[in-house]
Chain A
């Protein structure tokens, strides 16, 4: 897994994206371990083309249908993808439950600098809202961690 390389490529190609999901939780301080990196991305055509160019060097293959090409047509017809890439598993999300599309998600993002790269990362509050909306058993432990991180940050400010 090489999230730094992916973030660098997304920035180089001026992709509009927000780091979301478990990896955003890690950057926010969670002790969670995830084997993929989730991004919410803008779905205008220019951004889709930039996204394709950014990811092309990682040889993305759509899971579970490797026979379907990951191209503009695929991106126009679907918004959510799980990709196997040379940099690890990447989830692309055009829409986040509980939050909405990129334009809504980016409003709940915070700017982080990771390995010298600036990126938008979903806030703790945004992560809590999205994980609560999913209501999945597998997210319960992470949700507890996120709420605790939020409380610790507020405690520091109170």
Chain B
């Protein structure tokens, strides 16, 4: 019983680590996601709106070109 309780979380942890490694290799910015999880929803919204403003500025610049 004690063995089962102590090994199960580490198995899950291994699975999670594997999933994150695979995602990292597929190009997912895991560090960026970790940072986002540390932010409040308001801070996530601020960050998103800034990124969106840059994207829209770039799209407009492209059209002018």
Contact = CB atoms under 8 A, between A and B. Distances in A.
Given A154-B16, A158-B13, A148 B23 contact: yes
B20 A112 contact: no
Given A26-B48, A144-B26, A151 B19 contact: yes
Interface in A18-52: 26-27, 29-31, 33, 35
Interface of B: 9, 12-13, 16-17, 19-20, 23, 26-30, 32-34, 36-37, 39, 41-42, 44-45, 48-49, 51-52, 55-56
Nearest to B18: A151
Chain B at the A interface: SS class: helix
B37 A153 contact: yes
A115 to B, nearest CB: 6
B34 A152 contact: yes
Given A29-B33, A152-B20, A152-B33, A1 B49 contact: yes
Contact of A148 (B30, B45, B49): B30
Contacts, number: 76
A110 B17 CA distance: 26
Interface residues of A, number: 27
Contacts of A112: 41
A144 B25 CA distance: 11
A155 interface: yes
B45 A26 contact: yes
A128 B32 CA distance: 19
Interface in A105-158: 112-115, 141, 144-145, 147-149, 151-156, 158
A141 B51 CA distance: 17
